Amino acid sequence: MDVRALVFDVFGTVVDWRGGVTREVRRLLGPSVDASALADDWRGRYLPSMDRVRSGELPWTPLDALHRSSLDDVLADAGLAATPADVRDELVLAWHRLDPWPDVLPGMGRLRRAFVLAPLSNGNVALIVDMARRAGLPWDCVLGAEIVQHYKPDPEVYDSAPRLLALPPSSVLMVAAHVDDLAAARSRGLRTAYVHRPDEFGGQVVPPSEDPDADLSVSSFEELAVRLGA
C-alpha cells in the first residue's frame, strides 16, 4: 500500500461518545436521570436524523442542529420535557466534549509524523474543532460531511478526501470502528483499516474483533502506527 493520508471516523473510533455524553448528561440533568440510557437513546436517533437529510426530506442540516432536534424527543420520552432551552443547548455541546480512547493520542503522535491526518466524520466543523482543541487531537485539516453537505455513507463524503488532499483514492486510508463505514469507503476506492472498539456501546453490543474485508484490522491506534511502519 502506498498510503499518504489517514482519514478517521470520529464518534466511536477516535472518541468515546457514550462515556462523554453520559458524563455531561449527569452533570447537567443531575443524578436522578439514567444518563447512560439517555445517551444510548440520543445516539439511537443519530442515523434516522441523518437519513432525513440523505433522503432529501430535510435540506442540509449540520449535526449540532440534528442533535438539538432529536434531544427534544429524547427528553420528552424520558419525562424530562420541562428541561429549559439553555440546558438543552448546553447538552448539545456534550458532543464537542468527548474524550479520546486511551491509545488515540500516543498513536496519532506517531502517525502524524508519517501521514496527513484528517477526520472524515459526520460531525460539523465547529464540533470537530472544539473537540480537537479540548482533547489535543493533531489534525492537519478537517474534512467530512459538512464540507460537502452530505452525510456518510453518501459517496460524496468519501470522494472528497482524495480530491481535497490531491491524492489517488488508493493513497487514502479510512480508519473506522464500523464495518459499514469502511465498506462505503472501500466502494469509492479508499484503503480501509478497522479498529476494534469493544467498549463503544458500553458492552451491550460487542462489535467483531476483525473486519475480514479491510486491509488491516487493529485493536488500537498504536498498533495501527506499528502496522503502517510509522
Give buried/exposed letters for 38-74 (b at 16+ CB in 10 A, else e).
bbbbbbebbeebbeebeeeeeeebbbbebbbebbeeb
Rg (CA), the chain: 17
The yes or no reply on residue 116 touching a second copy (CB under 8 A) is yes
3-state secondary structure of 120: strand
Our CB check for a second copy shows the closer of 132 and 157 to be 132
- Residues in 118-177 that interact with a second copy by CB under 8 A: 124-126, 128-129, 132-133, 139-142, 146-147, 164-167
C-alpha cell at 44: 439511537
Residue 69: name the closest of 98, 53, 79, 12 by CA. Answer: 53
Question: What contacts 84, CB < 8 A, 6 or more positions away?
Answer: none
Q: How far apart are CB 211 and a second copy at their closest, in Å?
A: 28
Our CB check for a second copy shows the closer of 107 and 123 to be 123
The yes or no reply on residue 72 touching a second copy (CB under 8 A) is no
The yes or no reply on residue 90 touching a second copy (CB under 8 A) is no
CA angle 185, 110, 203 (to 5 degrees): 60
Cα separations in angstroms, 132 against 5, 26, 187: 18, 23, 29
Our CB check for a second copy shows the closer of 57 and 113 to be 113
Our CB check for a second copy shows the closer of 92 and 214 to be 92
- Residues in 211-230 that interact with a second copy by CB under 8 A: none
Our CB check for a second copy shows the closer of 33 and 114 to be 114
- Residues in 2-61 that interact with a second copy by CB under 8 A: none
Q: How far apart are CB 142 and a second copy at their closest, in Å?
A: 4
Our CB check for a second copy shows the closer of 11 and 115 to be 115
Q: How far apart are CB 62 and a second copy at their closest, in Å?
A: 7
Q: How many residues bind a second copy (CB under 8 A)?
A: 20
C-alpha cell at 40: 444510548
Q: How far apart are CB 74 and a second copy at their closest, in Å?
A: 22
Q: Over 169-226, what HEC string results?
A: HHHEEEEECCHHHHHHHHHCCCEEEEECCCCCCCCCCCCCCCCCCCCEEECCHHHHHH
Our CB check for a second copy shows the closer of 13 and 171 to be 171
**Residues at the interface with a second copy (CB under 8 A):** 62, 64, 116, 124-126, 128-129, 132-133, 139-142, 146-147, 164-167
